[in-house]
Structure 1
Amino acid sequence: MSGLLAGKRILVTGVLTDSSIAFHVARLAQEEGAEVVLTGFGRLSLVQRIAKRLPKEAPVVELDVQNKAHLEGLAEQVAEHFGPDASLDGVVHSIAFAPQDALGGNFLHTEWESVATAVEVSAYSLKSLTTALLPLLEKRGGSVVGLDFDAQSAWPKYDWMGVAKAALESTSRYLARDLGHKDIRCNLVSAGPIKSMAAKSIPGFEELADVWDDRAPIRWDLTDPEPAARGVVALLSDWFPKTTGEIVHVDGGVHMMGA
């Protein structure tokens, strides 16, 4: 078997539709030789249906990152799909959520309960997911890759999700620090906006899209998740063996443009 991920075992979260970056990560990972397991939250039947659209149907494990029992049993459930010598080479964190009152220009009036939900689901879950899977990851070392949206700027109507993404970036750095001695890397791909199901829940998404139309030095296609997915797959591979705590921008160059 050949390919960037030949022989590797990868867990991918956040596959909701075949337009999501996570779906294309799972597809490319399989095409590059990996075995893939997906996680699903809520409507598992939907994730299972989408899993059938991959080159090889992937098993789906239920995971609510706010559910302690789900996290405590995750490694065992994943191991069931990989056999008696189960290990894990890569984890893809594609999980984010903020209540509606934490978005849309309501920044000054959002209550802590909504902020706490946004931070727990979108940032703290990178830590809880990774530590839940440590029994499998630490056997051979591995790569944890999260999906990010540039937290260097205050974006229109992104509000507390922007704060949560800043927390995600910091969480990734601390995980990189504390897991490096186990040969586990933790990096993020900061992707440009994609018209996915998640995007539909962000008020003012079209304003973000207009920014990319105007400012991206390399033309950005809002309907093409593959460039970001390729960035994730590259970081999952052995081609970045000493890269950790990094944020790789796959955004057409918008992040570095001045006025």
Structure 2
Amino acid sequence: MPENALLAGRRLLITGVITPRSIAYAVAREAQLQGARVVLTAYGRPSLVRRLSAQLPEPAPVLDLDVTDEANLASLAARAGEHMDRVDGLVHAIAYAPASCFGAGFLAAPWSDVATTLRVSAHSLAALAEAARPLMPVGAAIVGLDFDARRVSPGYGWMGVAKAGLEATARALAAQYGPAGIRVNLVSAGPLRTAAGSAVPGESEAETAWQHRAPLGWDPTDPGPVAAACVALLSPQFRATTGSVIHVDGGYHAMA
């Protein structure tokens, strides 16, 4: 652990670890290197997440979590409490859309698929925050992973709408939780070669655009800059920042 580690003594609950390329995995690794104690969640494949946990600098406990299951959410605080006495930081790295909601199917996607997309990718931020809230003290931070929803991204379909909803949800939560001393922010990343990114039509074209237009350039194989931003937001260094979307995309968002 480096001297003056950003997250020394802090306890984090991190969702969304699916593969070693997951942004959430990079966040968990960087958080541990910065002194945090980490608990991971898994949806549907806990044995896979436990194998990934074993590859971290320090193996982390893994909890089952389905953000569409109210009973599962209701028990989250008690289950997390078996491993840590508080949650100083919560990482929301959850998004899903059926295939019909991507690409040219935007207008044809059935409501049932759209509803799933919105529930899992946007509403889950509020549901997860409320589930963990009993363990979150003054000074705690919630960080979610975003993709810039201010403009249409080819192929992103209803997921773009869900990300706009995620941003609005984060602002609403920031207003609700601010009086309790809890911060809520999002990190908007450029395209990365994750399992989620590979499901988006036109992702390779997006990578090319980023590499040419981002003033700082962009490496779609390196989640490190995004993980570092998440760790900074989870730390006390950003103690007066909430309701914000921090862009970690090489500066692409600022270009006309």
TM-score range, shorter chain: over 0.9
Aligned equivalent of 1:126? 125
- Residues 64-79 of structure 1 correspond to what in structure 2 (within 5 A)? 64-79=66-81
Paired letter, 2:107 = L
Q: How many residues align?
A: 254
Secondary structure at the aligned position of 1:122 is classed as helix
- Residues 1-259 of structure 1 correspond to what in structure 2 (within 5 A)? 2-82=4-84, 86-137=85-136, 139-258=137-256
Over the aligned positions, Cα root-mean-square deviation in angstroms equals 0.9
* TM superposition score normalised by structure 1: 0.96
Residue deviations 1:194-230, cap 9 Å, x none? 1011111112211211221221111100100000000
Distance 1:176 1:141 in 2: 13
Distance 1:77 1:211 in 2: 43
* TM superposition score normalised by structure 2: 0.97
C-alpha deviation, 1:91, in angstroms? 0.1
- Structure 1 residue runs of 4 or more that deviate by more than 3 Å after TM superposition: none
C-alpha deviation, 1:140, in angstroms? 3.3
Q: How many percent identity over aligned positions?
A: 52
Residue deviations 1:97-132, cap 9 Å, x none? 000000021111111111110010000000000000
Distance 1:100 1:18 in 2: 23
Distance 1:105 1:158 in 2: 9
8 A contact 1:87–1:140 mirrored in 2: no
Distance 1:197 1:46 in 2: 14
- Structure 1 gap segments, 5+ residues each: none
8 A contact 1:105–1:158 mirrored in 2: no
Distance 1:208 1:27 in 2: 27
